[in-house]
Every structure is written in C-alpha cells, then in structure tokens.
Amino acid sequence: MGSSPTSAPHIQHHVAGDHHDEHDHHDQHWLFKYVFSQDHKWIAKQFLISGIVWAFIGATLSTLFRIQLGWPDAQLTWLEPLLGRWVEGGKLNPEFYLALVTMHGTIMVFFVLTAGLSGTFSNFLIPLQIGARDMASGFMNMLSFWFFFLAGIIMFVSLFLETGPASAGWTIYPPLSALPQAIPGSGAGQTLWLVSMALFIVSQLLGGVNYITTIINLRTAGMSMAKLPLTIWSFFLTAILGLLSFPVLFSAALLLIFDRSFGTSFFLSDIYIGGEALNHVGGSPILFQHLFWFLGHPEVYIVIMPAMGIVSEVMATNARKPIFGYRAMIGSLIGISLLSFVVWAHHMFVTGMNPFLGSVFMFLTLIIAVPSAVKTFNWLATLWRGNIRFTAAMLFAIGFVSLFVSGGLTGIILGNAALDIQMHNTYFVVAHFHLVMGSSAFFGMFAGVYHWFPKMFGRMMDEKLGYVHFWLTILAAYLVFLPMHYVGIAGFPRRYYAYTAYETFNQFGDLNTFISIAAIMAFFAQFIFLFNFIYSIFRGRRATENPWNSNTLEWTTPVEPGHGNWPGAIPAVYRWPYDYSKPGAEQDFIPQHIPYSQTVSSNLPYEKEME
C-alpha cells in the first residue's frame, strides 16, 4: 500500500455498489441495513449481541449444574417450571446433568469466546484500525454472521429435544457420542450438534479468510505490518489458526457422522452395547481425539489471543505508556501460534497413546510456556512507571493478566505427563482452563466492550457500574476457581453428577457448596453489565471522537462512523500506535496519523530523517 492517503483503496460493495459517503446509505432497504448488513461495524454488533445472549444461556446452564454440585441432596422441584421432565422426583436427571456440562462447554468455547470475541472485535477493529473502508468482502462477512446465526438456532433447538441435547462432553469423544444406546443425548441431540458445528466452522472460515485478506491487502498508506496495533496482529494470527485447524474438526465431525449414520468404523471397534455386539471393527476412538485436539488445542489460543491483543492495546492506552517490547509481543504471538499446532496430544497422555509421543508432547508443551511468560512480563513492564487511569476497560485488562498468570501457571503441572497421570480429567484441569482461557478471555472481552463501546454506539458506558461489575467478577472468579484446585488435587473427577458413591471423595462437600455460591454470585454480577450495556446504548453519556486519548486510527473517525468509516479520505499512517507520553510532545499521546514533521520536538534521533 504505497499510495498517498487520497488514493487509499475504496471497497467494492458487490450488492450495494461503491459508496462510502454518509448520505448514500440512507436509501438502503432497512433489511439490508440492519439485518443482512454488509457493514463490518454492524456485523460486529450482531456478533457481540449474539455472543452476549449465548453467554447468558451458557452461564445459566452452569448455574444449574453448580446447584446440583453444591447441594446434591436438595429438592429441586422448584426448577420444574424451567426444566420440566428433566427434574425427576425433585432430582436432576443425571443424563441431563451431562447434557448441561456438554452444552455449557460447547456454547462458551465456540459461540461466546470464539464467535462472540473474535467475531465482534476482528470485525469491528480490523477495518477501523488498519484504515480500510470495510472488509475485503462485505458479502462473505455477512454470510459469516448468518452461518453462525443458523448454527446457533440449530444448537438452541437441540436444547429442547425430548432425548436432550448432546451429552457426551464438549469434546464429544466417540463411541459415547456415536451411540444413542449409550446415552440418549447421542441421538438427535448429537446430530444437531454436529450439523450446527459444521455450519459454525463454515462461518469461521468465511470470517477468517476475510480477516486475513483484509489485513494483508487493505492497510492504509504507511500502515506497514510493523506499525499494526497488537490487536490486529492477534486477530491476524487467530484467523490463521482458525483457518488451519477448523477444517480438521470438520473432518472429524464428518467421519463421526459417517460412523453414526452410514455404518463406517472410523472410530468404533469391538463394541457390545444394549445387549448386542455391533458390527464395527477396526476403528480407533483415539484417532478422533487426535483429530479433535488438533483443532482443540489451537482453539484455546483462538480464544485467548484476541483477548491478549485487546489487553495489550487497552493497557498501553490507559497506562499512557508504549507497550513494552512491541516486537517481542508480536514474536511471542507468532511463537504461540506455531507451537499451538504441535502440543495437542498433551490432552491425551493417559489415553493409551504411545508413551514416547507423550514425552515429545510434554517437551513441546512446556516450551509454549516461554512465550506466554514473555507476554506476562511485558505487560508488567508496561505498567511499570506508567500513569495509570483505571477505566473499567483497564481494570479488566489488569484482571486479565492476573487470571492469565494464575491459570497459566498450573498448565506447567498439567503439561508434565508424569503429573498429568493424577491430574488428568480432575477438577484441577477444570480450574486451570476456566482461569486461563475461560475467565481470562471473558475479561479480555469485557475490556474490549468497555473500551470500544463509545466507537460502537457513540455513547459511554457507566464507569461506576463498570467498577462494581469488575470487582464483583474478579472476586467471584477467584472464589470459584482457586478452591477448585484443592478439589482437583484431591482427585475429584470432572463431569460427576455426585460424589456420594465414593469413600475417596467424601470430603469437600462444604467447599463445593462454597464454589457454587460464588459461581451464582458471578452470574448475578453479569446482570450489572447487561443493564449497563443496554442502558448505555440508549441513555449513556455522549461520547467524543477520542474519549480515551488513544493513538489508533479508529479514534480519528466521527463519533458514530458511517458506512465507509471516514467521511473524507482515509488518513495515512506515519508512526507506530504506541507513542504515549513521548518526551517533548505537547500531549501524552501522538496518534498514528500525525506525521513526524508535526512533532519535531518529540522525535527521537532515528525519527529525525522521517520529518
């Protein structure tokens, strides 16, 4: 993109033609403006609102199973109006319990933290921060949302099936997920799960291709890869990971569909169930796990990397300091991306996989801790000698680092094959990944919403409510997941409906009640956010163009950017996005579009020649 700012690329709109001026889009039909919109900002809002809806559904499911775990003896007849037949004589049906944990995992990992997080912020920020009028293909972008929407509808419908939704865990390991005889949820519920997920993958691929193409091709004049904000770097690498790994999940799903419906034996062998021996021979359930985790592991980085990008951006802006080690931050993102493809079998140390493979994957897994450590130290160094403004977004960014550290460190134990023998599939694992990818990614998402809300809706969210939301949420997150480690060290298996059958697990009843109370508290705290979000869309304080005094390009657009983002020419970029508190500068920030010639007093020696 060597062109001058005035000849910056204009986006071709396949349906609505080439228009990027404010007044043009008024003659658009409302259906294409608000529903089947091709505007990246609108699609981002669609993803965000769907993500929030799904997050509340997912959280409701978790509240239900936390009630079961916290009060295993309680009469749950009062839940009958909601759950109907799934409450049997005042007790939750154990199969429904498994359906709850399965759907909670599926919804949170895929619909909220993948689509809700990447979908929202990649869509919203990529064109705005790289200086483009829209995505490379607005049409594909629209399709991406509607495939996701369709996937969501199908998954939602599956919740109401008579035989229940998918219940084999979010990892849907066959043979359990392949055999309706084994669990009723593996009937129609699992079919809908697979169909929904296939559509979801299509949505991800359409989105991913678009994000990558846009970042490579549509950067404004001067926006070299080394001047991109870290958000964009993280979205870019996330999209690449998705593009390379989701098709593998698709293939696994496809083979599973064949096994379920067409009598093939990819994953099934030597099975006697429901009083009969099945004809499947020669398949391997472990093959499925390899395929699943080849996606599944990059998937956790697909979830966490956008949050890392958002946190880096929010933290630099509000510490009023350049992000420490910009290049190291990019390097560690690249390192994490590469390594994320060669660590998948650490989920499978005790599956009967060759122990030599276990050794190899243990080695590779513990290497991935290094780039993660580098990122953490760089965030800490960014705070050091900053001038920190605690906006709600900044609080969540700091909370992200805290949770990421707490959850990431226990990964060092789980990545060690010898220790994983004991810890595998216990609550230690549950605590680990809920901190490091669940809570952290949510915190990254909240940071993003609070930070970019003014640009999305032209109004500010209420800061005080944001503070209350933050403190309650981080407190609850720790109250839930720290004690959960104790339960895990004691060896409590996950996905257990109750622990009453075991002498080994007869302790910690009180701790489980405590965890449940904290989880319910966390759930209710989110209604503060929901209220703040909806209220502020309509009644929030009006925002200014650049309320956070931030450097990146999106803040040079009008308060509510119209179609095409900039009313006039797209600004050109002259500097990196982190010139905060530069010595000699008038203000404590210099936006990316300010040329060096206007900042003579603050230019560093090597920048002099660029004046």
Partner 1 sequence: MIALGILLALVLLLVVFGLLFRLQILTSIFSGSYARQIGLSNRVNAILMVVFMVVGMAAFAYSFVANFDKMNPPIASVHGLHTEKLFWTTMIIIGIVFVLTQVALFVYSYKYQYREGRRAFFYSHNNKIEVIWTVIPAIVMAGLVFGGWKEWSNIMGPAPKDAVEVEIMGKQFNFLVRYPGRDQKLGRINYRLIDATNEFGFDLNDQRGLDDFTASEVHVPKGHPVLLHIRSRDVLHAVYAPHFRVQMYAVPGMPTKFWFIPTKSTDEMRAQTGNPNFNYEIACNQICGRGHFAMKANIIVDEPDDYIAWYAQQKSFADQNPDILAAFKNKKTPVIEDAPAETTAAPAATEKAQASL
Q: Which one, of 284, 244, 283, lies nearest residue 265 by Cα?
A: 283
In the bound state with partner 1, the residue whose beta carbon lies nearer, of 225 and 281, is 281
- Are the C-beta atoms of 597 and 581 separated by less than 8 Å? no
Q: Which residues of 403-429 are buried (b: 16+ CB within 10 A; e: fewer)?
A: bbbbbbbbbebbbbbeebeebbbbbbb
Indicate which single residue of 74, 244, 482, 517 sits in contact with partner 1 (rule: CB under 8 A).
Answer: 482
Indicate which single residue of 6, 77, 387, 601 sits in contact with partner 1 (rule: CB under 8 A).
Answer: 387
Q: Which one, of 434, 328, 449, 38, lies nearest residue 210 by Cα?
A: 38
Helix (H) or strand (E) holding 277: strand 276-277
- Are the C-beta atoms of 326 and 576 separated by less than 8 Å? yes
Query: For residues 57 and 191, what is the distance between their CA atoms, to the nearest angstrom?
Result: 21
Helix (H) or strand (E) holding 317: helix 285-319
CB of 2 to partner 1, least distance (A): 26
Residues 120 to 159 in contact with partner 1, rule: CB under 8 A:
none
In the bound state with partner 1, the residue whose beta carbon lies nearer, of 463 and 560, is 463
Q: How many residues does the chain have?
A: 611
Stretch that binds partner 1, among 58-66, 116-124, 478-486, 566-574 (CB under 8 A): 478-486
Query: For residues 94 and 102, what is the distance between their CA atoms, to the nearest angstrom?
Result: 12
CB of 366 to partner 1, least distance (A): 5
What does the per-residue mask of binding to partner 1 show for 433-472, with x meaning CB under 8 A? Answer: -----------------------------xxxx-x---x-
In the bound state with partner 1, the residue whose beta carbon lies nearer, of 26 and 464, is 464
Indicate which single residue of 136, 192, 398, 476 sits in contact with partner 1 (rule: CB under 8 A).
Answer: 398
CB of 58 to partner 1, least distance (A): 18
CB atoms under 10 Å from CB of 542, counted, come to 10
Indicate which single residue of 32, 139, 508, 596 sits in contact with partner 1 (rule: CB under 8 A).
Answer: 508
Written as six digits, the tokens of 443 are: 């915190």
In the bound state with partner 1, the residue whose beta carbon lies nearer, of 249 and 316, is 316
- Are the C-beta atoms of 139 and 207 separated by less than 8 Å? no
Residues 551 to 610 in contact with partner 1, rule: CB under 8 A:
578, 580-583, 588
CB of 401 to partner 1, least distance (A): 6
In the bound state with partner 1, the residue whose beta carbon lies nearer, of 5 and 169, is 169
CB of 162 to partner 1, least distance (A): 16
The rounded Cα 45 to chain-centroid distance in angstroms is: 15
Residues 344 to 373 in contact with partner 1, rule: CB under 8 A:
350-352, 355, 358-359, 362-363, 366-367, 369-370, 373
607-to-2, 320, 600 alpha-carbon distances in Å: 19, 21, 9
In the bound state with partner 1, the residue whose beta carbon lies nearer, of 216 and 604, is 604
Indicate which single residue of 24, 53, 60, 169 sits in contact with partner 1 (rule: CB under 8 A).
Answer: 169
Indicate which single residue of 150, 498, 517, 521 sits in contact with partner 1 (rule: CB under 8 A).
Answer: 498
In the bound state with partner 1, the residue whose beta carbon lies nearer, of 14 and 541, is 541
Q: Does 98 bind partner 1 (CB under 8 A)?
A: yes
The full 3-state SS of 76-144, as one line of letters, equals CHHHHHHHHHHEECCEECHHHHHHHHHHHHHHHHHHHHHHHHHHHHHHHHHHHHHCCCCCCCHHHHHHH
Indicate which single residue of 49, 161, 334, 374 sits in contact with partner 1 (rule: CB under 8 A).
Answer: 374
| Residues contacting partner 1: total by CB under 8 A | 119
Query: For residues 51 and 57, what is the distance between their CA atoms, to the nearest angstrom?
Result: 10
DSSP assigned state of 276? E
Query: For residues 461 and 543, what is the distance between their CA atoms, to the nearest angstrom?
Result: 9
In the bound state with partner 1, the residue whose beta carbon lies nearer, of 22 and 88, is 88
Stretch that binds partner 1, among 189-197, 232-240, 280-288, 430-438 (CB under 8 A): 280-288
Residues 204 to 243 in contact with partner 1, rule: CB under 8 A:
none
Residues 281 to 340 in contact with partner 1, rule: CB under 8 A:
281-286, 319-328
Q: Does 538 bind partner 1 (CB under 8 A)?
A: no
Q: Does 264 bind partner 1 (CB under 8 A)?
A: no
Written as six digits, the tokens of 425 are: 């599939």
Q: Does 28 bind partner 1 (CB under 8 A)?
A: no
- Are the C-beta atoms of 556 and 593 separated by less than 8 Å? yes
Indicate which single residue of 378, 512, 516, 599 sits in contact with partner 1 (rule: CB under 8 A).
Answer: 378
In the bound state with partner 1, the residue whose beta carbon lies nearer, of 35 and 421, is 421
The full 3-state SS of 483-552, as one line of letters, equals HHHHHHHCCCECCCCCCCCCCCCCCCHHHHHHHHHHHHHHHHHHHHHHHHHHHHHHHCCECCCCCCCCCC
CB of 413 to partner 1, least distance (A): 5
In the bound state with partner 1, the residue whose beta carbon lies nearer, of 240 and 477, is 477
CB of 214 to partner 1, least distance (A): 27
542 beta partners: 459
CB of 307 to partner 1, least distance (A): 16
Stretch that binds partner 1, among 3-11, 213-221, 440-448, 501-509 (CB under 8 A): 501-509
Indicate which single residue of 385, 538, 605, 606 sits in contact with partner 1 (rule: CB under 8 A).
Answer: 385
Q: Does 477 bind partner 1 (CB under 8 A)?
A: no
Token pair 């720790």 is found at 478
Residues 99 to 118 in contact with partner 1, rule: CB under 8 A:
none
Q: Does 251 bind partner 1 (CB under 8 A)?
A: no
In the bound state with partner 1, the residue whose beta carbon lies nearer, of 39 and 462, is 462
Which residues touch 448 (CB under 8 Å, ≥6 apart)?
Answer: 117, 120, 121, 307, 310, 314, 393
- Are the C-beta atoms of 588 and 581 separated by less than 8 Å? yes
Written as six digits, the tokens of 373 are: 């450590």
